[in-house]
Amino acid sequence: KAGVTQTPRYLIKTRGQQVTLSCSPISGHRSVSWYQQTPGQGLQFLFEYFSETQRNKGNFPGRFSGRQFSNSRSEMNVSTLELGDSALYLCASSVEDQGNIQYFGAGTRLSVL
């Protein structure tokens, strides 16, 4: 089985722009979660989607949004980028079973200049 695929791997944007990141989960996984990783704040949960519905949300401003499609692929969008949004964005997928074990993609490295 193919793993979790995130595209693109690297992105460079300037302040004020918006960006869309994509995540394709492992086949058969219906849950997709997004995390932000920074040196200062560590790994923080952004949101989770299951069957095209947002099921959980972390403490991030409304500039961060996401969606999930009927094939379970997910996108996250960040509008009006700020320098502090520079981070590694990780996507994870899981099946609904005991432990809801999450499998991570390689991430998208976003740099905001």
Partner 1 sequence: AQSVTQLDSQVPVFEEAPVELRCNYSSSVSVYLFWYVQYPNQGLQLLLKYLSGSTLVKGINGFEAEFNKSQTSFHLRKPSVHISDTAEYFCAVILTGGGNKLTFGTGTQLKVEL
Q: Which residues bind partner 1 (CB under 8 A)?
A: 4, 6, 31, 33, 35, 42-43, 45, 48, 50, 55-56, 58, 90, 92, 94, 98-107, 109
* Comparison of 58 and 65: residue with beta carbon closer to partner 1: 58
* Comparison of 85 and 93: residue with beta carbon closer to partner 1: 93
Whether 56 and 48 have beta carbons less than 8 Å apart is answered as yes
Tell me the helix, strand and coil percentages in the chain, rounded to 5.
Answer: 5, 55, 45
Whether 46 and 90 have beta carbons less than 8 Å apart is answered as no
CB 16, min distance to partner 1, A: 27
* Comparison of 62 and 97: residue with beta carbon closer to partner 1: 97
Whether 93 and 29 have beta carbons less than 8 Å apart is answered as yes
* Comparison of 17 and 96: residue with beta carbon closer to partner 1: 96
CB 30, min distance to partner 1, A: 11
Which residues, including other chains, have CB under 8 Å from residue 109's CB and lie 6 or more apart? 9, 10, 11, 87, 88, 89
CB 33, min distance to partner 1, A: 5
